[in-house]
Structure 1
């Protein structure tokens, strides 16, 4: 059973209160008009379709829910996401998927700077390009970029895996290109299929940590 909530006549607080204790299995959210924190803090296995553009922290802290935004989103979409699926049909502003621990975040368009910053286990697939300083201090998880990547990709990265199909402007500290083995091509194929994107996994390159920042070096003393 589905329900419709129109933000032209309801508040975001009322919307999120309903979604936190849902009386339906599926929801359509109309007229979001760039509102912030739409569908934030969900923790039930419900489907939410946001019909339009959303503002900051859309679907933040998501658990179990499947949230689809039929438009673009502002800063911090799916920030600190734990599980479930968040899909953005348009573009995303900065810090998409920041600190996210799990689940799948799909951005069908492009994402701005700091995409996947400090990601901690999320799978993040971007259909277009990503901006500078993406995957900064990324600790775990997988980032697949079907377009180009901006400057300082993977700066201070830990054990996250990055796959990029297009050009990389520059790599950040301790981030290096790594060989693509069969297991990595299979991983890319799996993530592309989950995202509904059709690219040849062999056209991607892999990046990750050189592990030079893991250990104290005497020459770095002050």
Structure 2
């Protein structure tokens, strides 16, 4: 295990050390002390390493993650795990807006709340939020799963494509072309698996599923007011 003090080590050097593990075949464990809200911490990783961040971070923590496991013992600013490809990112606290934006794979596990636009334009990522999510979450979400143990704000799933949304609490309003869907056995099975993986204390039967009504895939003048 290697401990790096970010109070005395430049951010560029910190990320260079972590990114070098892809070339060196690293599978080690790294602890980052004193992040002090720094932006772009542990970005662009491409090796099966574990990174533990001892505190809160700013923008784009763990962005473009691939293979690595990043655990943040605090809260994160906007864009955590943006464009993540694989691996796992866990946030012990809350996440600011557009968490998991454009994510293509892996698991983003937020143990607190997530702000607005959580999962915007997601393309295959799995996101579990143990608390609530803000307005416009899963906007234009194309693929993947958003699982929310708490409540969802206004315009959930606006203009989404084939992403699946599961909410245990109340949904303030649905966005354009988003509707409640039937919960089938395959969805309950998926929820059981991902809730266990995320360490979430909830029963699959407590959730409701939402998805695309598929009316806005192609422009139709009769639906002009919905765009």
TM-score by length of 2: 0.95
Report what 2:31 is aligned to.
28
Equivalent pair of 2:69/2:88 in contact (CA under 8 Å): yes
Mapped to 1, the partners of 2:76 and 2:7 lie a distance apart of 18
Which of 123, 128, 147 does residue 125 from structure 1 map onto?
Answer: 128
Query: Are positions 1:99 and 2:102 aligned together?
Result: yes
Shift of 1:75: 0.3
Mapped to 2, the partners of 1:34 and 1:92 lie a distance apart of 13
Structure 1 unaligned segments of length 5 or more: list them.
none
Mapped to 2, the partners of 1:35 and 1:217 lie a distance apart of 46
Mapped to 2, the partners of 1:110 and 1:82 lie a distance apart of 22
Helix, strand or coil at the partner of 1:185:
helix
Structure 2 unaligned segments of length 5 or more: list them.
none
Mapped to 1, the partners of 2:104 and 2:222 lie a distance apart of 35
Report what 1:195 is aligned to.
198
Mapped to 2, the partners of 1:218 and 1:118 lie a distance apart of 24
Equivalent pair of 2:216/2:223 in contact (CA under 8 Å): no
Report what 2:9 is aligned to.
10
Mapped to 2, the partners of 1:129 and 1:143 lie a distance apart of 12
Structure 1 residues 183 and 29, CA gap change in structure 2 (3 angstroms): same
Mapped to 2, the partners of 1:37 and 1:216 lie a distance apart of 38
Aligned residues: 221
Which of 63, 68, 71 does residue 68 from structure 1 map onto?
Answer: 71
Equivalent pair of 2:166/2:207 in contact (CA under 8 Å): yes
Helix, strand or coil at the partner of 1:37:
coil
Shift of 1:182: 1.1
Q: Matches of residues 71-150 of structure 1 in structure 2 within 5 Å?
A: 71-150=74-153
Q: Matches of residues 154-165 of structure 1 in structure 2 within 5 Å?
A: 154-165=157-168
Equivalent pair of 2:19/2:45 in contact (CA under 8 Å): yes
Report what 1:55 is aligned to.
58
Mapped to 2, the partners of 1:207 and 1:49 lie a distance apart of 34
The C-alpha deviation readout for 1:39-80, integer Å capped at 9, x for no partner, is 011011100000000110000000000000000000000000
Mapped to 1, the partners of 2:76 and 2:33 lie a distance apart of 15
TM-score by length of 1: 0.97
Q: How much is the aligned-residue C-alpha RMSD, in angstroms?
A: 1.3
